[in-house]
Amino acid sequence: MQPRAMLKEWSDQALGALGRASAAHTAGIVRMQIGRVLSVGDGVARISGLPGARAGEVLEIEGGARALVLDLDSGVIGAVLLDPDSNVAAGAKVRTTGEVATVPVGDGLIGRVIDPLGRVLDHGGRLEAAGRFPVERAATPIIHRAPVSVPLQTGILAVDAFVPVGRGQRELILGDRQTGKTAIALDAIINQKETGVVCVYAAIGQRASAVARALHSLRVHGALGHTVVVVAGSDDPPGLQYLAPYAAMSVAEYFMEQGRDALVVFDDLTKHAYAYRELSLILRRPPGREAFPSDIFYAHSRLLERATARRKEHGGGSVTALPIAETQAQNIAAYIPTNLISITDGQIYLDSELFHKNIRPAVDIGLSVSRVGGKSQLKAYRSAVANLKLAYSQFLELELFSRLGTRLDEHSEQVIRRGREIREILRQPNLSPIPAAEQVGLLVALTAGAFAELPLEKVKAAEERVRARLRSEVADILAAIERGEALESAGRERLIELGRAAAGEVARETAQETTGKASAR
């Protein structure tokens, strides 16, 4: 073969190979914008040179830090840092990512502790996630929502009896510092152990010691096996604290979209509001009432509106929200508490005066309300508490008069005596939830006057005796109550008989103790 022909053949082979390689590999053009940090401080960076950046977009800063676009101004972007600002300096390069903030979701998160961006905070190794959800998501359309009718039992007698919570509801917990707000939320999480409800606990702006105590309580009571913990502590950048409740809600929404029930606790939204106020003031947004930005109501409403129950034809499932808010000097008319009260479906108010009187949980029955009401209670429960709240309200009013030295008639004395029995029954230690069926048995016995002959200091002992006998002697009735069946007259009489028998045993033991002490004298 001539050299010219050989050269042409080799050239054709090379061009063919190059063509095949080009066809197999399609080059993609990646477009990004590069800007620079103008200034940085207090968790906020001002950036120039990114005209195509969008609100809510995540930016990458030279050195590995990330920031979230929150303000779009003429030629300058205000971004909140999602990492410590110690490695970010003026002049650092910044690039757009075209992505919004996301959080990992899935069953692999259960039992784990993460931050709002999905970074692992425990020692459980690599996170096994089913995917990632945007932190900010649209709420379920109204037409896809179902009425709230299935109870979510908290295990707290004062709550389940007077301010019941349903699956898909938003029930606010508010009160002064150190009144037991977090304890009620943790009780609710612990009580979901055998119910199939997946819980998400969001710690927002909390001290590391407070988060550690909450984790210890969940671990000791076996509740981490159905709980995801999202933490943005007080030492974290305010940008992470701002994202924490939205990330926790996205984690809970994954389970709702699988047709399951979820409970999400925001502890607490007052600190979230403080973090958002801090960011807004640094970004030079116009301050409003109490220096909060004008859109603070929208920030909380778009979060809590995502909690709902879905219709079966749209997948079923639900997300129940228990936001926590802190008041100052029992002022529930402050800006953030009133905002949250207007957004939610009711509130559980904890009174510091009751707390200091050792009446715990310190639920103020008069100021606490559930707008769903008895619709979310078991049938047997609804009948057991029919007149209980009225009797307790009358007692609270008469007790106030009795403190003034007013002489009361016999009927009023009986009302006060019954009210004090109810108060003793409502006392409950922290982290010791009571099953709903046992609560019904206790309330039926209480309404029938089973504890009327006992000294008040012996009512709790009689309660423990009643609960033990309920578990051992009428397990079938308890199972029927848990299934949502109505309490028949025969079952009611059996519960009353059992309650009176248990209270009678305690009364006899008390009498024997009194006689023994008198003989010893």
CA separation for the pair 489, 203 (Å, rounded): 46
Helix (H, G, I), strand (E, B) or coil at 23: helix
Beta bridge partners, 94, equal 35, 61
Residue among 17, 47, 46, 53 at smallest CA distance from 35: 47
For 322, residues 6+ apart whose C-beta sits below 8 A from its C-beta are 165, 171, 172, 173, 185, 188, 263, 264, 265, 266
449 dihedral zone (left: phi>0; alpha: psi -120 to 50; beta): left
With contact defined as beta carbons under 8 Å apart, do 96 and 32 qualify? yes
Cβ(264)–Cβ(319) under 8 Å?
Answer: yes
The answer to whether 46 and 76 have CB atoms below 8 angstroms apart is yes
Omega of the bond leading into 176 within 30 degrees of 0 (cis): no
Q: What is the DSSP string of 35-87?
A: EEEEEEETTEEEEES-TT--TTEEEEETTS-EEEEEEE-SSEEEEEESS-GGG
CA dihedral 138, 144, 149, 151 (to 10 degrees): -40
Reduced to 3 states, what is the DSSP secondary structure of residue 192? coil
- Give, in order, the Cα–Cα distances in Å from 490 to each of 209, 413, 451, 494, 495: 51, 32, 21, 6, 9
With vertex at residue 267, the alpha carbon angle to CA 263 and CA 271, rounded to the nearest 5 degrees, is 145
Q: Is 371 a catalytic residue?
A: yes
* Secondary structure (3-state) at 310: strand
Angle of the 489-520 helix axis to the 459-473 helix axis, nearest 10: 140
Query: What's the burial of 396, exposed, middle or buried (CB within 10 Å: 0-12/13-18/19+)?
Result: middle
DSSP 145: B
Q: Cα(32)–Cα(58) distance, rounded to whole angstroms? A: 13
Nearest to 163 by CA among 431, 428, 380, 346: 346
End-to-end CA distance of the chain: 132
Distance, CA of 235 to chain centre: 21
Helix (H, G, I), strand (E, B) or coil at 201: strand
Choose the catalytic residue: 66, 371, 420, 471.
371
- The set of catalytic residues is 371
